[in-house]
Amino acid sequence: MAKLSKLLLPALALGLIGLSSCGRPAEGSGRSIIRNIGSDTLVNVAQSWSEAYGTVHPETQVAVSGGGSGTGISAMIDGTVDIANSSREMKSQEIEAAKKNGVQPLKHVVGFDAIAVYVHKDNPIEKLTLAQLASIYGEGGNITKWSQLGVKLSAKADNIVRISRQNNSGTYSYFKSVVLGKAGEYKLGSLDMHGSKDVVEQVSLTVGAIGYSGLAYANDHVRMVPVVNESGAAVGPSVESAMDNSYPIARPLLMYTAGEPTGKIKEYMDWILSDEGQKILRDKGYASVR
Amino acid sequence: MVKKQKIESGALAQSVNRAWVFDRVAKGIVFIGGISAIVFIISIFIFIFDQGMGFIAEDLKPGEFFGSEIWRPTSESNPTYGILALIAGTASITGLAMLVSVPFSLGAAVFISEFATGRVKEGLKVLIELLAAIPSVVWGFIGLSIMNPLIVQLFDVPIGLNMLNAGIILGLMAAPIMTTIAEDALKAVPDGYREAAEAMGATRWQVIRRVVLPSARNGLGAAILLGVGRAFGETMAVLMASGHAINLPTSPFDSVRALTATIAAELGETARGSTHYEALFTIGIFLLLITLCINLLADLVIRGGWKRRKL
């Protein structure tokens, strides 16, 4: 029996992990439903919002689906959605098309997808370009030592220890798309952490490390390296630089409503911007509005 | 008189009846408890095979799966499912763990069974059982926050989350189970053997080396195998201490990634039914088959020893 249980336990753990990932569709009889479609960047956090909101306001159900920013925006133009999620702004012709259908899209910034590049606090590096980052992280890139970047660290810390994320993380894929490009791949052999916080934690413990994570996770033991943007200026990550688009690895997370939101939709939008909603956003690895 | 007798026999019949019912119910409950293990294990087998079969049937390229170190299941352009580096990670950590735990646990077992007496013996046994009860996430935490900086300082290496860290942690985790089983095996050696050897003028060490250890050989072998099984299937501590980096390790200071840790890290956020999800379950099947083999082997080893002693 003892032996059997040893055999059972890992299997059971597997089973439990499998079970926990299965979704439970909610019944929506007699409740008001908010339709929320769009960006895949936002879909995870939107789902978390919806679930958490369901526990505090069981009378409102938020039906979330992804499909991409374009899907959300075209649904907004057609007036078939209450809230459209988008990781890009609506183009002027899209706004015109919406107005023709009697919809006045209103932009709400619900968070920022700003990803800071972290190094140890003793690492003096002043700035990094996206090309240098790609050369550090990307398959085929040849930067493996800090000395190649003109940074002098102790001999044992000279090898760059790449801290990355697990391969289904949103931060992982976003960083990949901006820094390595659509076709790029990460070099194998990075330390793949399971959370935004773990990345920063590990960088703080490792002199030769570099990591990327949400700027909300910064602490005193790490430095955030300014990244050179398109106009050639090295910009440090911050909510402001994410907001004005000067930081290159950042974008605002948007939700569009048809005109000034009212009723249940307004309640939901207000809740998203509340501390509770913004905490969920941060937990998912994004920068909050405040 | 006749009436009284009748009442008594009625009471007897009634109590027999109640006892009989109770007996049957108890038997039923115990039976359900007994077969539940079988039901569970069969359902788990079916579940895991069902989830992983899609990958095995459609997407599995055995050459790539077992021969490539590239594990890039979420790549958009070219998803690659190679678990060679993960197998190497698991194997190297388990091997290192055994190097740590075998001397420790066999030494502890010999000491407890042959040398320690009275309070020392009982105290040690309780402490070792306590050691076995430490949750693996606590071990992982020790690896992450104590061993990590320690290894960096002691060995002057850039990062302390590596094969050495995970191996030591796993070795310490596997040691209590191995000690307990090994101690049972030593205890099962009849005292007559020891007495006979002592009567021949053998020293303590000679008795242990020439008589006790050889006759407990199978039990000790099983102890080591079960320790291997424990180290092999451990997840949380390995995930936290190994560095979780896809590497074919060339030194104990390389960060590595284990099969179990890969499942734990990725399954929760993977779309149900996707190729990636099924590939993770295929790793689960692979792990299950290996642990099954290890456990069966341990069983055979014990049984072999038991048979010989009976003859």
| Residue A3 forms contact with B (CB below 8 Å) | yes
Chain B residues in contact with A47 (beta carbon < 8 A): none
Residue pair A87/A42 in contact (Cβ under 8 Å)? The answer is: yes
At A184-228, the pLDDT tens digits run 899 998 999 877 788 898 899 889 999 998 777 788 999 999 999
**Which residue did the predictor score with more confidence, A44 or B143?**
B143
Chain A residues in contact with B85 (beta carbon < 8 A): 188
Shortest CA distance from B77: residue in chain A: A183
Inspect the interface and report whether the beta carbons of B243 and A4 lie closer than 8 Å.
no
DSSP structure string for A191-218: EEESSHHHHHHHHHH-TTEEEEEEGGG-
User: What is residue A10's predicted lDDT score, i.e. its pLDDT?
Assistant: 46
Mean pLDDT, range A38-45, rounded to an integer: 79
User: What is residue B271's predicted lDDT score, i.e. its pLDDT?
Assistant: 65
| Residue A206 forms contact with B (CB below 8 Å) | yes
Chain B residues in contact with A8 (beta carbon < 8 A): 37, 40-41, 44
At B206-245, the pLDDT tens digits run 999 999 999 999 899 999 999 999 899 999 999 999 999 9
Question: Where, residue-wise, is CATH 3.40.190.10 in chain A?
Answer: 19-112+253-283, 113-250
Whole-angstrom distance, CA of residue A173 vs CA of residue A115: 11
Instruction: For residue B263, give both structure tokens.
Output: 């499942």
User: What is residue A22's predicted lDDT score, i.e. its pLDDT?
Assistant: 37
User: What is residue A13's predicted lDDT score, i.e. its pLDDT?
Assistant: 46
Inspect the interface and report whether the beta carbons of B244 and A189 lie closer than 8 Å.
no
Chain A residues in contact with B41 (beta carbon < 8 A): 4, 7-8, 11
Q: Count Cα atoms within 13 angstroms, Cβ side, for B299.
A: 12
Query: How is domain A113-250 classified at the architecture level of CATH?
Result: 3-Layer(aba) Sandwich (3.40)
Inspect the interface and report whether the beta carbons of B263 and A194 lie closer than 8 Å.
no
Instruction: For residue A269, give both structure tokens.
Output: 């939008």
The interface predicted TM-score of the complex, written ipTM, equals: 0.77
User: Which residue type sits at A290?
Assistant: R
Q: Looking at the complex, report in whole angstroms how far the Cα of residue B121 sits from the nearest Cα belonging to chain A.
A: 23
Q: Over B238-260, what HEC string results?
A: HHHHCECECCCCCCCCCCECCHH
CA A62 to chain centre: 21
User: What is residue A1's predicted lDDT score, i.e. its pLDDT?
Assistant: 38
Tell me the count of A-B CB pairs closer than 8 A.
134
Inspect the interface and report whether the beta carbons of B269 and A9 lie closer than 8 Å.
no
Which of A168, A175, A284 is the mutation pick for testing B, counting most B CBs within 10 A? A168
User: Which residue type sits at A173?
Assistant: S
User: What is residue B74's predicted lDDT score, i.e. its pLDDT?
Assistant: 79
pLDDT for B2 beyond 60: no
Instruction: Classify domain A19-112+253-283 at the CATH topology level.
Output: D-Maltodextrin-Binding Protein; domain 2 (3.40.190)
Mean pLDDT, range A54-67, rounded to an integer: 87
pLDDT for B181 beyond 80: yes
B6 — pLDDT class (breaks 50, 70, 90): low
**Locus of tokens 């027999």:** B16
CA dihedral B213, B216, B219, B221 (to 10 degrees): 40
B311 — pLDDT class (breaks 50, 70, 90): very low
Candidates A136, A122, A164; CA nearest to A227 is: A136
Q: Looking at the complex, report in whole angstroms how far the Cα of residue A233 sits from the nearest Cα belonging to chain B.
A: 32
User: What is residue B63's predicted lDDT score, i.e. its pLDDT?
Assistant: 87
Percent of chain B topping pLDDT 70: 91
Q: Looking at the complex, report in whole angstroms how far the Cα of residue B3 sits from the nearest Cα belonging to chain A.
A: 54
| Residue A47 forms contact with B (CB below 8 Å) | no
DSSP structure string for A52-80: HHHHH-TTEEEEEEEE-HHHHHHHHHHT-
CA angle centred on A29, ends A28 and A34, rounded to 5°: 40
Of B37, B152, B246, nearest to A189 by CB-CB distance is B246
DSSP structure string for A222-241: EEEEPEE-TTS-EE---HHH
Q: Looking at the complex, report in whole angstroms how far the Cα of residue B103 sits from the nearest Cα belonging to chain A.
A: 23
Of B45, B244, B268, nearest to A191 by CB-CB distance is B244
Q: Say if residue A151 is exposed, middle or buried (CB neighbours under 10 Å; 0-12, 13-18, 19+).
A: middle
User: Which residue type sits at B244?
Assistant: H
**Which residue did the predictor score with more confidence, A242 or B122?**
B122
B3 — pLDDT class (breaks 50, 70, 90): low
Of B37, B159, B268, nearest to A206 by CB-CB distance is B159
Inspect the interface and report whether the beta carbons of A4 and B158 lie closer than 8 Å.
no
Chain B residues in contact with A283 (beta carbon < 8 A): none
- Average pLDDT over chain A, rounded to whole? 82
Shortest CA distance from A158: residue in chain B: B158
Sign of CA dihedral A257, A258, A260, A262: negative
Q: Say if residue A189 is exposed, middle or buried (CB neighbours under 10 Å; 0-12, 13-18, 19+).
A: buried
Backbone torsion region of residue B22, taken as left when φ is above 0, otherwise alpha when ψ lies between -120 and 50, otherwise beta: alpha
How are beta strands A60-67 and A32-38 bridged, if at all? Answer: parallel
What are the φ and ψ backbone dihedral angles of A163, each rounded to 5 degrees? -105, 125
At B25-56, the pLDDT tens digits run 999 999 999 999 999 989 998 999 988 888 88
Least confident of A29-43, B60-74, B114-128: A29-43
Mean pLDDT, range B263-271, rounded to an integer: 77
Inspect the interface and report whether the beta carbons of A205 and B37 lie closer than 8 Å.
no
B305 — pLDDT class (breaks 50, 70, 90): low
Per the confidence metrics, is the pTM higher than 0.95? no
Inspect the interface and report whether the beta carbons of A189 and B288 lie closer than 8 Å.
no
Of B47, B149, B295, nearest to A205 by CB-CB distance is B149
Helices (H), chain A: 2-20, 40-56, 69-78, 92-100, 130-137, 170-175, 196-205, 239-243, 263-272, 275-283
pLDDT for B190 beyond 80: yes
Mean pLDDT, range B242-268, rounded to an integer: 90
pLDDT for A25 beyond 70: no
Instruction: For residue A237, give both structure tokens.
Output: 């990550």
pLDDT for B7 beyond 80: no
User: What is residue A225's predicted lDDT score, i.e. its pLDDT?
Assistant: 94
Mean pLDDT, range A34-58, rounded to an integer: 87
At A154-185, the pLDDT tens digits run 888 899 999 998 886 667 878 888 899 878 89
Helices (H), B80-233: 84-110, 118-132, 136-142, 148-155, 163-187, 191-199, 204-206, 213-215, 217-233
Residue pair B278/A214 in contact (Cβ under 8 Å)? The answer is: no
User: Which residue type sits at A254?
Assistant: L
User: What is residue B15's predicted lDDT score, i.e. its pLDDT?
Assistant: 63
| Residue A15 forms contact with B (CB below 8 Å) | yes
- Average pLDDT over chain B, rounded to whole? 88
User: What is residue B100's predicted lDDT score, i.e. its pLDDT?
Assistant: 94
At A234-269, the pLDDT tens digits run 999 887 787 677 889 887 788 999 999 988 999 999
What are the φ and ψ backbone dihedral angles of A5, each rounded to 5 degrees? -70, -30
Whole-angstrom distance, CA of residue B280 vs CA of residue A108: 39
Cβ contacts of B258 within 8 Å, gap of 6 or more: B86, B89, B90, B93, B166, B235, B238, B239, B242
